[in-house]
Chains A and B, each alone.
Chain A
Amino acid sequence: MNAIMIIYYLISAFIAAMLIWNFIREKEDREKMLLYLIVLVPLILRILRIR
């Protein structure tokens, strides 16, 4: 795995963590909650390397 791929995985993990954090903090807006989860899906698949 080259350096660029490692950086991409780190970026994916960072964005995923931010989305989870925002999902936990969100108290009112249901649309935002759903949106965080939907956006999270490809990032989780990428981090878990599910093909």
Chain B
Amino acid sequence: MSRIWIMKFIFIIIISVVMIISGIQFYQHRHYQLPIVAGSGVTRVTRLSEYCESLQGTMADTYVFFLEGKEPGGKVLIMGNTHSNEPAALLTALVFIENAIIETGSLIIIPQFNNSGSRNTKPGDGYPLYFNIPTPWGSKKFRYGNRNAAPLDSWPDPDVYVHYPDRQLLSYLDVRNTNRTWPGRANGPLMERVTFATMQLLKQEQVDIAIDIHGAETMFPVTNCIVAPDTSMKIATLTSMTVKAMEGFENHVEPSPQGFRGLSHREIGDYSKTMPFLLEAPLPFLDQPTGPKTTDLLLNGKDPFLLSLSKQNKLFVPYDESGWPMEKRVGQHCSVVLEIMKQFSQKNVDKTIAIDNVPRYAEVVENRVGYYFHDPKKAEKDNIYIN
């Protein structure tokens, strides 16, 4: 065998070893199953494909949890993991699923809205594949996903994503972004089917409020806020003022832009009777000028470069040595969700939504988020949903 072919074989072996090792890691991440413990408030669980048949059997299909009270009242939909790299949303949804007791009205929760995105990653940005949340019974391991669905599930991408039905031209990536594909269509690209199914859910279940939970960069102006269209603006403003006065944290209101299509807070309000809200909490991990993208940065939000920028007033949120820990983000989301329901109930007495056993900001900050998760090993098998 010639010298050149020996070298070629060495190269093939090196590339094969790298491909196999990394391939196994990506495969395990994509197929890692998260146990969700349904709390005593959960009355039924279904799949999103119940509202759109073309989702059945795809990686985009996901669980929908119903928590129904004894008395009829208002109905609220909470969506977590629209962007699966903004994990405070998933954790907040799980706090509600595992703990909430509904007295009046109903709560519908989709914790892993972009299920395909939660099985995707961003290796070019050095994303960790998992993160762990400490709990009283050990640590709970989560997949860390990506903003968009995996190209393995939604492929090929178009050159330009033409939004349906407004025909606005969006980035090709947005065909896999479940916060650009609203209101969707039954036979469209996979993520349009996800949002279409959810629009059907909102209409069939006659949902009053839809809350889409997110996280955003500290250098992005639309952060630490509630985004609301005109129909939801009054309740959003009252919520913002109340949490600031009563719980001491900022959460300003941003108007939903009328000319930017495909967003949940835009299209849900325009294409249904449901009032949409989108919650943003600061997520330093997503900022570009940070140190390494580690799980510590993801969970604690501490970064020396952002601290330096903060001193130069380059950030849109207050930022000091304590960073933006997960507890603050989940705590804010819990309080804002509860406050939106309270304000809505005060304005619509016949559609009251009364919920117990969900912690507010100060409690989550004090106890930390893992305190509210139950041990799947001790839970009844019928109450565990693997996804």
Interface residues of A (CB under 8 A from B): 4-5, 8, 23, 27, 30, 33-34, 37-38, 40-41, 45, 50-51
Contact = CB atoms under 8 A, between A and B. Distances in A.
B11 A33 contact: yes
B386 interface: no
Contacts of A40: 15
Max count, chain B CB within 10 A of own CB: residue among A8, A23, A37 = A37
Contact of B11 (A5, A37, A50): A37
B23 A50 contact: yes
Interface of B is mostly: helix
A45 B23 contact: yes
Interface in B1-38: 4, 7-8, 11-12, 15, 19, 23, 27, 30
A37 B15 contact: yes
Contact of B156 (A8, A23, A45, A51): A8
A23 B9 CA distance: 11
B11 A34 contact: yes
Given A5-B155, A8-B156, A27-B4, 20 more contacts: A4-B156, A5-B156, A23-B8, A30-B7, A30-B11, A33-B7, A33-B8, A34-B11, A34-B15, A37-B11, A37-B12, A37-B15, A38-B15, A40-B15, A41-B15, A41-B19, A50-B27, A51-B27, A51-B30, A51-B152
A40 to B, nearest CB: 8
Contacts of A41: 15, 19
**Top 5 A-B residue pairs of the complex, sorted by shortest distance between their CB atoms:** A37-B15, A51-B152, A41-B19, A8-B156, A33-B11
Contacts of B12: 37
Interface in B356-385: none
A33 B11 CA distance: 8
Contacts of A34: 11, 15
Nearest to A23: B8
B159 to A, nearest CB: 13
Contacts of A33: 7-8, 11
Contacts of A5: 155-156
Nearest to B2: A27
Contacts of A50: 23, 27
Nearest to A44: B19
A41 B23 CA distance: 10
B26 to A, nearest CB: 9
A50 B152 CA distance: 9
A18 B27 CA distance: 27
A41 B30 CA distance: 18
Contacts of A38: 15
Nearest to B119: A51
7 contacts: A5-B156, A30-B7, A30-B11, A33-B7, A38-B15, A41-B15, A45-B23
A27 B4 CA distance: 7
Contacts of A4: 156
Interface string B149-193: 000100110000000000000000000000000000000000000
A27 B30 CA distance: 39
A8 B4 CA distance: 33
A32 B4 CA distance: 13
Nearest to B7: A30
Choose among B7, B11, B12, B23 the residue with the greatest number of A CB atoms under 10 Å from its CB. B11
A41 B19 CA distance: 7
Contacts of A30: 7, 11
